[in-house]
Amino acid sequence: MIRNGIKLIAFDLDGVLVDGGGSWNATHEGLGTLKQSQKNGKDFYSGKISFEEWAHKDVELWKGTDIEEIKKILYRTELMKGIDETLPELKKRYKIAIISGGLKLLADRVKENYGLDYSFGNELLLRNGKVSGIDHIVDFESKGKILEKIAAENGYGAKQCAAVGDYLNDIPMFKVAGLSIAYNPKDPKVAECADEVIRVKDLTKLLEFL
């Protein structure tokens, strides 16, 4: 069923379009920095540091790493079941954006592979091909504003957009979108804030709502 008035769909990346623990975790695992990064995560969730500070502290662990090494790690990430059937079908009817609190490097890869319209994420900064920092674009609260901006650029209202996500940082997107879908939500609050909930790892289930 096509929802009347929906023109654009905004997807979260980690846990929605790609499977696994996410682009941050995948990079930490691949580079052997996961244990150090867990302290940064604890500091964020306990309120000691902001999400931006967390991101910068995490990337400090990767400074000097060749970007090609990180690409190899991220490009091995497993895509979500059903993506090959679902995205081409949705592209026939909607504009599609990725809005991720993860790494833009992986969001761009998915965008290019499937011919999507937009990808937003946090971008690794480079010096001589090696990681030197991060351009922090998508924080824990900004996804709704980014969705509104994309909609306005296309002459739409945010209520003409659908949002698909799985975590707390997707709730700001859910609040402004006309249709919100929680995809295997990682927290009960995400499901509570959504219009529809999918609890199966299969993206083709989205086609029932879009």
Domains, the chain, ordered by start: 8-19+79-208 (3.40.50.1000), 24-74 (1.10.150)
Number of helices (H), then strands (E), in the chain = 9, 7
The mean pLDDT value of the chain amounts to: 94
pLDDT(34) > 80: yes
pLDDT(2) > 70: no
Helices 104-114 and 67-74 pack at an angle, to 10 degrees, of 60
Residue in the structure block whose two tokens are 């991720």: 100
CA separation for the pair 140, 167 (Å, rounded): 10
E strand or H helix at 133:
strand 130-135
What is the sign, positive or negative, of the torsion defined by CA atoms of 54, 70, 131, 36?
positive
Which tokens go with 150? 């994309």
Question: Can you tell me the mean pLDDT for 178-192?
Answer: 97
**Per-residue pLDDT, 1:** 46
Residue 66 a catalytic site member: no
pTM to 2 decimal places: 0.94
Query: Residue 65 has what DSSP assignment?
Result: -
- For 15, the 3-state DSSP assignment is coil
Amino acid in the structure at residue 147: L
Report the chain's terminal Cα–Cα distance, integer Å.
6
pLDDT(4) > 80: no
13 or 3: which carries more pLDDT confidence?
13
Contact assessment for residue 141 and residue 169, using Cβ atoms and an 8 Å cutoff: yes
Residue 14 a catalytic site member: yes
CA separation for the pair 189, 164 (Å, rounded): 14
Nearest to 12 by CA among 206, 160, 153: 206
Query: Using alpha carbons only, how large is the chain's radius of gyration in Å?
Result: 17
> pLDDT-derived band of residue 3, with 50, 70 and 90 as boundaries?
low
Question: Can you tell me the mean pLDDT for 196-208?
Answer: 96
Given 12, 58, 166, 170, which residue is catalytic?
12
The percentage of the chain sitting over the pLDDT mark of 90, rounded to a whole number, equals 84
CA separation for the pair 178, 163 (Å, rounded): 8
| Tens digit of each residue's pLDDT (9 = 90 or more) over 116-156 | 999 999 999 999 999 999 998 998 889 999 999 999 999 99
Q: How far is CA 125 from the centre of its chain?
A: 19
Given 14, 58, 166, 170, which residue is catalytic?
14
- For 122, the 3-state DSSP assignment is strand
| Tens digit of each residue's pLDDT (9 = 90 or more) over 88-121 | 999 999 999 999 999 999 999 999 999 999 999 9
CA separation for the pair 38, 207 (Å, rounded): 36
